[in-house]
Amino acid sequence: MSQFLLKTFIIIQLFSASVFATETEVKSLSDSIHKQMFVEKKKAQKMSIVIDPLHKKHPYSYQLNLKKFHFHDESTITYDKVVILDSNNQIDIPITFASKPIDIPTQISVECTHRYFQTMPSLEFSLKEKKVQKQFTNGPVCKLISINKKHFYVDTPQNFTFAFIALDKKGNTIFETDKSSFSYPKGSKYAALYSIKVLLKSQTFTPPLAFTINCNEAYAKTISDYPSDKFHLREDISKREHKTSPQIIKDEILESLNYRLIDDKITLCQAETPFSLKNHMNIINDESITLLGDAYIKKLSSSYLEEDFIKRIDLDKKPKTQVAILKNKILAPSEQLLIEVIRKSNRDTQLYPIDKESSLKVIFKDNSLTYQFMKNDKDVTLSEITPFAITFEAVYNADGMALLRDENNCYWGYPHKLTLSIPINPKAKSIEQIISIDGLNAEQTQALLNNYEQVNRVAALMAEINSLSSKMPQENDIIYNESLSALHYLNKEQVNISSIYTQEIAHSDPKGQIAHEYLVKPYMGYYITVCDKIELSDSKFIDTQKWNSSKDYSYNDEDLEFIGVKKNDWGLIAIPVDPTKMPHLYTNYEQYYKFFDKPQNAKPKSVWKTAWSSL
């Protein structure tokens, strides 16, 4: 594409200019657009010509109509899109070229239709003045025709828009209007009018100011690893102002944090009042939330941060909830550290001390800036110094403009100062609460808690048993187990197995009662066994495929024949005695639960597709 990178210029064709839109101003506008134009690659054969926001101190914003794209072969495409060029918003002009760079536009025809005043200049007329005229600095003239305590009329020129503010004798606003003539309606209770302030809002160019901008340099504006920044400057407007650092929470507020039930929502509160995290976004909440009910368990990793920055759980959306178990380990910083490192002409590398052990190493090189946290002279991550993330980061040039970062730690400009804001020195608060819903009494609440504790104990036991499954007779990826209890009886002398998978637990397996001659008894309300079926969906089950063993196994000098299943189909299942109160449990690498309306001896083909939940 380099053959098309022409010498930068902007062709300005001034068709018409009013008294207040001189050729110099149009050239200045064109130059501003030229300086702010860049190309950003999106995808293959797709890019955008972007026009960055004007610098913050620019006095005007403009309404532009992007009329046409012009190409190398002198063809054109009508675009006809209205955009606003101001200090806050980026203009994005998408470009798609079919196969060759020649398909990208070389020029864009532009019409400027309006100019808006960022800080609206003003004039004022009072009751003491009669038919006077006043002029805005280098702007239009307005003439006072008449004014009294209930009426005003100001003659204004065409092609300008104004706002009119009626003031009383103390300078208080009575009303605001865009009408240049206004009379109080009968019976009005407005205060007596004393003066009128006239604000200049915008100017309309009739006909529009037309000019053509050349795109070629926009394609040429790129940065490499360590480029020159003499002509390419881009502002990161999100860092235009250093946002106020999150506040440090007071110790007494931190200690008062708790959960409460307010309007059917479990809410994080400061004492009895909902607590807003808006000014405390540097706080770390490590929450664990479990909602319990009849045949219901719902685990949440956190509550929900709503628009008002208050953490809540809406129980209207979880109507089965009767008890909530809430745990939260809160970390809050004791200090917000502000780091500012200014480039020194005689040093590329600078060290900024954080504490006795830690420091920040900053390396300036041309357009590049990198930094590294250090601890005891070794490179470390920030998490080894503080558990909190950086809350503000910006790189500025010598004029105080926040520079936009590109790839390879390069910036569109010459880095002069690095600013970081980091929360440090954590203080902790732990919350452990149980909240009963729907007026449950203490006995009912405790019954749900006991059931949940029982579920977790059985699940933990199943995880231990599952880790011993390699001791089952197996060959060729087939596990031979007529019953799970065979794991106990075949390894009875091995303490590392029998101490975990005890006889009491083994007797909860219905499959081994004949072979090993025992009476089946549930263990902690569960029959712990191996699946016979595979759950494909909520309503579809298939039998596991069985395989006869090719070896003989013996127990008490008696030969045993084992029937096996493939490892992928083997599953450890806990079937509750009462499925209306307790969930089924399944274990592989993790523990899962699901409620059925009747006992099911089946493992899920996929825990996600069959709606099993992780404990």
Q: What is the pLDDT of residue 495?
A: 80
Q: How far is CA 124 from CA 129, 130, 131, 141, 207, in A?
A: 10, 13, 13, 12, 30
Query: What dihedral do alpha carbons 467, 468, 472, 476 form, nearest 10°?
Result: 40
Q: Can you give 269-284 as a three-state secondary structure string?
A: EECCEECECCCCCCCE
Q: What is the mean pLDDT of residues 281-308?
A: 92
b vs e for 314-332, b when ≥16 Cβ sit within 10 Å of the residue's Cβ?
ebeebeebbbbbbebebbb
CA separation for the pair 55, 35 (Å, rounded): 11
Q: What is the pLDDT of residues 452-472, one digit of tens each?
A: 999 999 999 999 888 887 777
Full DSSP string of 174-196: EEEES-SEEEPPTT--PPPP-EE
What letter represents residue 176's amino acid?
A: E
Backbone angles phi, psi at 103, to 5 degrees: -80, -5
Q: What is the pLDDT of residues 45-54, one digit of tens each?
A: 788 899 999 8
CA separation for the pair 121, 180 (Å, rounded): 16
Q: What is the pLDDT of residue 133?
A: 94
333 vs 551, higher pLDDT: 333
What pairs with residue 267 in β-bridges?
260, 312
State the DSSP H helix or E strand holding residue 105, giving kind and residue range, or none if neither.
none
Task: Name the DSSP letter for residue 9.
Answer: -
Q: What is the pLDDT of residue 554?
A: 54
Backbone angles phi, psi at 453, to 5 degrees: -60, -40
What six digits make up the tokens of 597? 């309306």
How far is C-alpha 70 from the chain's CA centre? 40
User: Helix, strand, coil shares of the chain as percentages rounded to 5?
Assistant: 15, 45, 40
pTM of the model: 0.73
Strand, coil or helix: 453 = helix
Say if residue 569's pLDDT is above 80. Answer: no
Full DSSP string of 334-351: EEEEEEEEE-BTTBSEEE
> Are residues 249 and 283 in contact, defined by beta-carbon separation less than 8 angstroms?
yes
Mean pLDDT of the chain: 86
- From edge to edge, which strands make up the β-sheet containing 541-543? 541-543, 533-535, 602-604
CA separation for the pair 7, 10 (Å, rounded): 10
Least confident of 396-400, 454-458, 467-471, 485-489: 467-471
Using 50, 70 and 90 to split pLDDT, how confident is the model at 606?
A: confident
> Are residues 576 and 583 in contact, defined by beta-carbon separation less than 8 angstroms?
yes
CA separation for the pair 373, 58 (Å, rounded): 38
Using 50, 70 and 90 to split pLDDT, how confident is the model at 3?
A: very low
Q: What is the pLDDT of residues 263-277, one digit of tens each?
A: 999 999 999 999 999
What letter represents residue 380's amino acid?
A: V
Q: How many residues does the chain have?
A: 615
Q: Which residues contact 590 (CB under 8 A, 6 or more apart)?
A: 614, 615
Say if residue 21's pLDDT is above 60. Answer: no
Among the listed residues 253, 328, 252, the one whose alpha carbon sits nearest the alpha carbon of residue 288: 328
b vs e for 396-407, b when ≥16 Cβ sit within 10 Å of the residue's Cβ?
bbeeebbbbbbe
Task: Name the DSSP letter for residue 11.
Answer: B
CA separation for the pair 298, 359 (Å, rounded): 44
CA separation for the pair 451, 413 (Å, rounded): 63
Say if residue 596's pLDDT is above 60. Answer: yes
What six digits make up the tokens of 465? 């048993």
> Are residues 238 and 58 in contact, defined by beta-carbon separation less than 8 angstroms?
no
Say if residue 450's pLDDT is above 90. Answer: yes
Q: What is the mean pLDDT of residues 84-92?
A: 92
Strand, coil or helix: 374 = strand
Handedness of CA 504, 508, 509, 515 (dihedral sign): positive
Strand, coil or helix: 257 = strand
Say if residue 248's pLDDT is above 80. Answer: yes
> Are residues 531 and 571 in contact, defined by beta-carbon separation less than 8 angstroms?
yes
Q: What is the pLDDT of residue 46?
A: 83
What six digits make up the tokens of 302? 């956190």
Q: What is the pLDDT of residue 98?
A: 65
Q: What is the pLDDT of residue 5?
A: 33
Full DSSP string of 215-228: -HHHHH----SS--
Using 50, 70 and 90 to split pLDDT, how confident is the model at 345?
A: confident
CA separation for the pair 366, 414 (Å, rounded): 7
355 vs 3, higher pLDDT: 355
CA separation for the pair 71, 448 (Å, rounded): 74
Strands in 27-159 per DSSP E: 37-43, 46-51, 60-70, 76-85, 91-96, 107-117, 122-126, 133-135, 141-148, 151-155
What six digits make up the tokens of 366? 């041309």
> Are residues 151 and 188 in contact, defined by beta-carbon separation less than 8 angstroms?
no
